Structure 1
Amino acid sequence: MMKTIVRTLLFCSALFMMSACENEPMSNDDAAAAKISQTENVSFDVSNACYTTDLIAGQYYLAGHIYVTMDATKVYVTYSTVDNWRIKGTHLCVGDCNKIPQTGTGNPIPGKFPLATSNPSGVQQVTFTINKSDLGDCFCVAAHADVSRPGQSETAWAKGDNFPGSNWAMYFSLCKSNCVDEEQH
């Protein structure tokens, strides 16, 4: 099963990099492939994360964390919830900061982000894999999620810089030099 997940992740990361956060909508085939790039109900080790930020729900609630880890060839972005929060869906764009899908007024359009998941019953962790060689030395991460806990559903964003629009959506930037490959230890 793990080999199937890894192959799926590699295939989907290739599809992701072809779309590279462009403002063009994905075809239904690309969207379907991107949705299976999640590693649902598989615990991903985030102890060696080189970047961690909070996953903020409804502007005020800590729903979890976003972890970025890297190895020699891949970048991994992991959404992980805390307490009784569950991830119902995700939208992720990793790449050129100027190519994150946005409206003319600077609000991000998560529905046009190239990677997405749908988890109607809710999961606690989702990890995406991106080819490191397809990213510039520095890149942006816009990580959006639909989260819920008993009696409450919220939209959530990885804590970072505000988009120029009028909502509270956020993104963060990261450089490869901030992360040390495991092989270099």
Structure 2
Amino acid sequence: MRLFPAFMRGTIALFAVTASVFFISSCQKSAEPDNGTERANSFSSMEGVVGTASNSASAITFCKTRDFCLWAGQTINTGKVVIGNDENNLYVIINSLEGFQDVSENVKIWVGDNLVDLPQTNKGTPIPGQFPYKLKVDPSYTWYTVTIPFSSIKTSGKLDCSGKGLYVYVHVDAIAKKKGETAWGGNCLADGPIRTQGRWYYNMTYSTGCCDECTCKDVN
């Protein structure tokens, strides 16, 4: 997997749509509530991290975003993961089309710029139970937005919006095809999961972007 590919830059706004369609649009700065259906619904081992559950996408202003697929049971495309940032935070937005399993810590996230810091076995298998961001989503929701301050992410140098490259691992206890499945965020064009010791996972890469330039363009 290549790290730090070229991505679209510009201020991009995320606004509410149906649970199956996600539009990222324009240079408008807004943060509209989701008609009362959003609520804080999380816990985390890292201070300042907030999770917000909803049944549709929320209006958040980003400097940049990148879309990924949510892969359940190794090969089932069961939703999406959108990673974005503004001047101070990284956002991880999870859309599990059939919802989340009713278990504790059903979302686990690790972010960093050096895989030496990734909790993993001697064979290189990620250990989600040791990820720093462990959160609980109410299973009645299908969208979950995790706000992670740059200051809480361990990196080799100062993390900001100026094109800093990151690895992102997102593990989800999801519902897919009406049953509980392990899911990972990963590249939608991936040939398949990474396998170690009979286990499997996907990972993602993301490079931050600043809001000093605006390319007004809609991306589905």
Partner of 1:184: 213
Between the aligned partners of 1:41 and 1:67, the Cα distance in structure 2 is 15
1:63 positional shift: 1.2
Correspondence for 1:148 among 175, 184, 206:
175
Between the aligned partners of 2:74 and 2:81, the Cα distance in structure 1 is 16
Correspondence for 1:44 among 55, 58, 62:
58
The 8 Å contact of residues 106 and 164 in structure 1, kept in 2 or not, is answered as no
Distance 1:122 1:100, change over 3 A: farther
Between the aligned partners of 1:81 and 1:47, the Cα distance in structure 2 is 22
Distance 1:151 1:69, change over 3 A: closer
Deviations 1:93-145 (A, max 9, x none): 11133211101111111111111222353421111112236554211100010
* Structure 1 moving runs of 4+ over 6 Å: none
Letter in 2 for 1:102: Q
TM-score (norm 1): 0.69
| C-alpha RMSD over aligned residues | 3.2
Partner of 1:86: 99
Distance 1:40 1:142, change over 3 A: same
Between the aligned partners of 1:13 and 1:103, the Cα distance in structure 2 is 21
Deviations 1:8-46 (A, max 9, x none): 99xx69637xxxxxxxxxxxxxxxxx6xx3102274347
TM-score (norm 2): 0.59
Count of aligned pairs: 156
The 8 Å contact of residues 13 and 130 in structure 1, kept in 2 or not, is answered as no
1:170 correspondence with 2:193: no
For residues 31-110 of structure 1, what are the structure 2 equivalents within 5 Å?
37-41=50-54, 43-45=57-59, 50-82=65-97, 85-88=98-101, 89-98=106-115, 99-110=117-128
Between the aligned partners of 1:45 and 1:94, the Cα distance in structure 2 is 23
Unmatched tracts of structure 2, length 5 or more? 1-32, 34-38, 215-220
Identity %, equivalent residues: 23
Unmatched tracts of structure 1, length 5 or more? 17-33
